[in-house]
Amino acid sequence: MTTNVPLLQETGSTARDEGPLADAQAQLAAAVATLGYEPGLHELLARPRREMTVSIPLRRDDGSVEVLTGHRVQHNFSRGPAKGGVRYSPRVSLDEVRALAMWMTWKCALLDVPYGGAKGGITVDPRRYTRPEIERLTRRYTSEILPIIGPDKDVPAPDIGTDEQTMAWMMDTYSVSSGYTVPGVVTGKPVALGGSLGRASATSAGVVHIALAALEHRGITATRSTAAVQGFGKVGADAALFLAEAGVRVVAVSDQYGAVHQQDGLNIHTLQQHAAATGSVVGFPGAEAISGEELLTLDVDLLVPAAVEGVLTGANSRDVRARVIVEGANGPTTAEADRILADRDVLVVPDILANAGGVIVSYFEWVQSNQAYWWSRQEVDDRLARRMHTAWHHLLDAAAARGLTLREAATVTAVERVADAHRTRGLYP
């Protein structure tokens, strides 16, 4: 069903550790106050433009039927088609998807990509289902949200619990309904189906471009620095590898099962092989076992939270010893933690810049799919690096000019661009 939703938080309220939606709304409210926008424009920016919640009947391999719930939220499309990932996780809720869709709007605007923000997901633990069941689940979800997606409407991509195979199934389901192949309906596809070279590791590469720039900004030499990476999935594993290749000593990584620590530096290539063989970083030979919470407070130069939202909170942020935090995940730092870290002069590079490499190369893939013209890996990597470094320097300038933190400056810049697009287009009567 498609619904209009009320304003989800009083515009003047202050979010604490209440979840990602409260944090997203608080960030928007602060940006609106800085920009001096009227309440009507604030409300327009706070509300998702369109939401769809669907029931997904799934026939299990044993013949039984289970009904799951899926969502697709389109926060804003004033600057172009909606864009955002699809996640399969037991944590998925409508409020989480609303927050992630809003952050996607700001991310696309900050990086000057001609998209609005969207997000989708199914409340499901994909580890409990077979591959054929996941395929049926994906195809049914796609068919349910099919009326609101499309290469000129809303372009999904992989996220937590989904991958390029998931996108192949979504593309095929949409294409079968259309009667012809529509490669531009999703991004993050296999290269054989029109995916872009470099897309799979783009988010990780973008995180590392920004991490190295942030270390330099703080006067820290990369080859003499240490790092801890929370999360060893799509983003964290390659981010750890690229950091190590750049000369950073990665001393700890974690996943949902635990964390490992080695003060003289982990061999990330070998650790990736271990995780692929065992399903976890836990038990890596020669490393000390620590908890995921301990990893967040290690004495390192750089911390990369690259798992899920809300891991740095008011309860643990005073114990964080990293001098630079680069957000590989969406919303890993709560509003209260943000204030504490700012007071302690910890440089926090916000998610809407730090992990934007994925949406940038998704944009490149979308352009290539629509034009049926493919770029080399070197072209993709070079274009990504230029985009990330340009956005970084613009953000530093904006923060200095307004006397804001990087997150505040990023949100203000993005909100201003979206609001300008809306005002230029006008309000349809």
Predicted TM-score of the model (pTM): 0.85
Instruction: Tell me the percentage of the chain whose pLDDT exceeds 90.
Output: 86
- Going by pLDDT thresholds of 50, 70 and 90, the confidence category of residue 13 is very low
The span from the CA of 230 to the CA of 137, in Å, is: 29
What confidence tens digit (pLDDT) does each residue in 382-415 have? 999 999 999 999 999 999 999 999 999 999 999 9
Q: What is the mean pLDDT of the chain?
A: 92
What confidence tens digit (pLDDT) does each residue in 103-139 have? 999 999 999 999 999 999 999 999 999 999 999 999 9
Integer angstrom CA distances of residue 323 from 130, 389, 393, 397, 413: 43, 20, 19, 20, 25
The closest of 270, 258, 349, 360 to 304, measured between CA atoms, is 349
48-193 matches 202-354 in fold: yes
What number is the average pLDDT over the span 313-324? 94
Q: 130-146: b or e for each residue (b if 16 or more CB lie within 10 Å)? A: eeebbbbbbbbbbbbbe
**DSSP states of 153-189 as a string?**
TEEEEE-TT--HHHHHHHHHHHHHHHTS--GGG-SS-
**DSSP states of 251-268 as a string?**
EEEEETTEEEE-TT---H
What number is the average pLDDT over the span 260-281? 95
What confidence tens digit (pLDDT) does each residue in 42-99 have? 999 999 999 999 999 999 999 999 999 999 999 999 999 999 999 999 999 999 999 9
**DSSP at 14:** -
Which of 119, 153, 189, 234 is labelled catalytic? 119
Catalytic (active site) residue 107: no
The span from the CA of 74 to the CA of 80, in Å, is: 11
The span from the CA of 19 to the CA of 99, in Å, is: 9
- Pairing relationship of beta strands 2-3 and 50-59 according to DSSP bridges: antiparallel
pLDDT of residue 8: 38
- Going by pLDDT thresholds of 50, 70 and 90, the confidence category of residue 20 is confident
pLDDT of residue 1: 37
Would you list the domain boundaries of the chain? 1-45, 48-193, 202-354
Per DSSP, the three-state class of 11 is: coil
Per CATH, domain 48-193 is 3.40.50.10860: yes
202-354 in CATH: which number? 3.40.50.720
What number is the average pLDDT over the span 168-196? 94
What number is the average pLDDT over the span 28-49? 95
**Tokens (6 digits) for 380:** 């993709």
